[in-house]
Structures are given as C-alpha cells and as structure tokens.
Amino acid sequence: MSDLFLGSPTGTDEQLDLPGSERSRRRPDRRGGRRRHRRRSTVALVVAFVLVATAGYFLMETVWPSLVGSTSASVSDYPGPGHGSVQIVVKPGDTGAAIAATLVENGVVATRSAFTDAFKANPKAGSIQPGTYTLMLEMKAQEAVSSLLDPASRVSYKVTIPEGLTAAQIYDRISSVTTVPVATIAAAAADPASIGLPAEAGGHVEGWLYPATYEFEPGATAAQMLGTMVKKTISVLDGLGVAADQRESVLTVASIAEKEVKFPDQYAKVTRVIDNRIARQIPLGMDTINAYGLNKAAIDLTASDLKADNPYNSRLHLGLPPTPISNPGQATIEAALNPTPGDWIYFVTVNLDTGETIFTNNYDEFLAGSAQYQQWLKSKG
C-alpha cells in the first residue's frame, strides 16, 4: 500500500510530520528552548549574586576589621608638625581632658587619649593658662601641649596704659589696639555698674583706670576691659590700706602729682604742697587742674583761660577738684598717702625738658622760678 499524502493548499505536496517521527526529533520547539535558556540565565545570576554576597561577608568579617584596626592605630596620634592654623579657647578651670576634647573637635590632635597622655607626661602642663591660642591642624599631641605652654601661641590684645593719661586718652589707646570704637568704650564707662565702679567714685571713671599692661582676649567687651582696670585700682588701694571713704581724695591728689612733675622723687613734695595749701585755705592754683577742666594742655592755657569759671579752675575754688584729673600709678598713690615733710606752699617747674622743679615757701623765690620758666618757654619759641 502506498504512503499517504495530503494535498498542500499551495498545490505542492508536503509530507506530514507525525509525532515521534525522525523529522519531528530533528526540529525541536523553538519557544520552549528560549524559555529553558532564560531559566538557565536566571539561575546563573542568582548563583553569581550569592557568591559575591558570600565573598563580601567574608571580607567584612575577616579582612576589614584588621584593616580598620591598622588605620585607627596609625591616626591615634598625628606625626606632626601639622598644617594651617585654627584658634581654640582654653576656658578657666579646663582640665587636660576638657582641653583634649576641644582640640579633637577642632582637628588639632587625633585623639583625646593621645593628648591626655602627653599632658600627663609634661610636668608643666598644669600651668596652661586660660585664653585663646593659635595652633596648627593635625599636630602631634606632645607638640600641642608645648604650644599651649608657649606664650607666643596665645592670641590676645596687649594694651599698655602709662601713668598720668586721662580717661579719654585711655579710650583712644584701647581702641587703637583692640579696634573697639571709642564711643563704645565711653558708653561702657558711663555705666558704673557694668564696670564695677565703686559708689565713692560718684559715677566718674577718671582716676580709676589703673595704668598697667593688660592682655585682653579676642571678643572682650569694653565693659570687661574697663572693669579689669577698675578692679586693679581697687586692689592697689586695698593693698595700701586706703579706706573706702578716702579712695577718691587719695586718687585725686595722686592724679595731680602725676601731671605736675616728671620724676618720682618729686611726687611726695607735690602732695605736701597740696596738703599745706588746703590746710591754709589757699587755692591750689595749679595749671594742670585748670587745663583738665578746659580739655587743653597746660602749656596752651591763656590768661583768659585762667579766669574761666568752671569747677576745675583751681585759682578760683578752694580744695581739690571735683574728680581726679588723670589716672595715677602706685608711686603717686603712695606719695598721696605719705607726703614728704616740709613747709612748701609753692613749686614751679622751670624746665620741662629736664623736669627741674623749685619747691619753696617763699613767694619771691616762686616768682623768680616762674620767670625762669617763662624764659625757658621763649627759648623754645
């Protein structure tokens, strides 16, 4: 019997592939192959991910801890010397641990333990003073301790106040160093409570700003700076045993001596003349007092100035002026407390260059000295 053929719609003859036939095995289902390929790819990706995750876990658990430990050990203390700069503040009462925390926070040292160890190892570390310091970043802890002990590292405004300056002159000097405006300083001086001015000063700061060299931290206020000077004056007066109700008069007498003569060995003679004149009800008649009231230099006074009616005209009014006329130092304060014994009621400086001064109780000698002074003025033009 012949093989069975079916007619093709196209008019061609095509042998029918029956299931299980050899041709059927040679021509697999293509869609099924693609599905099997995708399954194999997915399995491969999952296996790869598992392998990567396992390797990562192994690294985290074994290799990474050793690397971290090695790095931490290497930065427990910087090798130094450091770079750049940063300002840090050591506060009053700060311990070595507190300073260490500040330094770590500002990137100066690597760890607190490195600094505290260096702090304990340096016998002078306990003398580190409160203040603002300029240090480098990433310093070796031992060098950080040394830098904090070095005065050159400390940031401050150094203001030197000579004896005999007026309050206004002191404001100018403070402002020139600290850049705090003069108006701000004057406003602080006008608030007695803010600067610790005692009641016996009567609200007037003149005479209470002790002449010395001060170091003020950056950011110090005008009130803090003036308050430091007032506190120093009170300390000096207390140290000399001056009663509170005598402070103002002692400072006033001292301030006049500070302005009247040039040499310390003349101070106590001037204070004796002041005492003698007050005791005899004679006006003090001192140009420096008159000049202060007019805000002028004594050498610039005119005849009309000497007649000006104001509380500081020492030719018209008996006794001491209303306030000190300058800010005296310890030498003149001591002179006010211990005048040189003598009966002088006159004195005149005859040469401002040399400071030569004549003390006398004889009016004619005084007039002769005054003429000598006038001659000196003419020689200076």
Mean pLDDT per 10-residue section of the chain, whose length is 381 residues: 36 40 46 56 56 54 44 69 92 93 95 95 93 93 95 90 97 94 97 97 97 92 98 98 98 97 95 98 96 93 92 96 98 98 95 91 94 91 78
Q: Are residues 190 and 148 in the same domain?
A: no
Q: Are residues 130 and 163 in the same domain?
A: no
For 61-109, the pLDDT digits (tens) are: 444 444 444 333 456 999 989 999 999 999 889 999 999 999 999 999 9
Tokens, residue 79? 């090798």
For 139-174, the pLDDT digits (tens) are: 999 999 999 999 889 888 899 999 999 999 999 999
Q: Are 273 and 359 in contact (CB under 8 A)?
A: yes
Q: Are residues 260 and 359 in the same domain?
A: yes
Buried b or exposed e, range 102-112, using 16+ CB within 10 angstroms: bbbeebbbbbb
Block residue for tokens 């396992």: 54
CATH number of the CATH domain containing 136: 3.30.1490.480
Q: Are residues 144 and 167 in the same domain?
A: no
Q: How many domains does the chain have?
A: 3
Q: Are residues 348 and 275 in the same domain?
A: yes
Q: Are residues 263 and 371 in the same domain?
A: yes
Q: Are residues 278 and 357 in the same domain?
A: yes
Q: Are 312 and 243 in contact (CB under 8 A)?
A: no
Residues 337 and 41: their CA atoms lie apart, in Å, by 106
Examine the fold and report which residue of 221, 239, 257 is the final residue of a domain before the chain moves on.
239
Q: Are residues 233 and 268 in the same domain?
A: no
Specify the DSSP class assigned to residue 93. Answer: T
Any domain includes 234: yes
Q: Are 148 and 127 in contact (CB under 8 A)?
A: no
Any domain includes 335: yes
Specify the DSSP class assigned to residue 209. Answer: S
Any domain includes 73: no
Q: Which class for 27: exposed (0-12), middle (13-18), buried (19 or more C-beta within 10 A)? A: exposed
Residues 251 and 66: their CA atoms lie apart, in Å, by 73
Query: What pTM was computed for the model?
Result: 0.70
Residue 190 belongs to what domain range?
Answer: 157-239
Q: Are 78 and 139 in contact (CB under 8 A)?
A: yes
Q: Are residues 142 and 161 in the same domain?
A: no
Any domain includes 62: no
Any domain includes 339: yes
Residues 171 and 166: their CA atoms lie apart, in Å, by 9
Q: Are residues 344 and 261 in the same domain?
A: yes
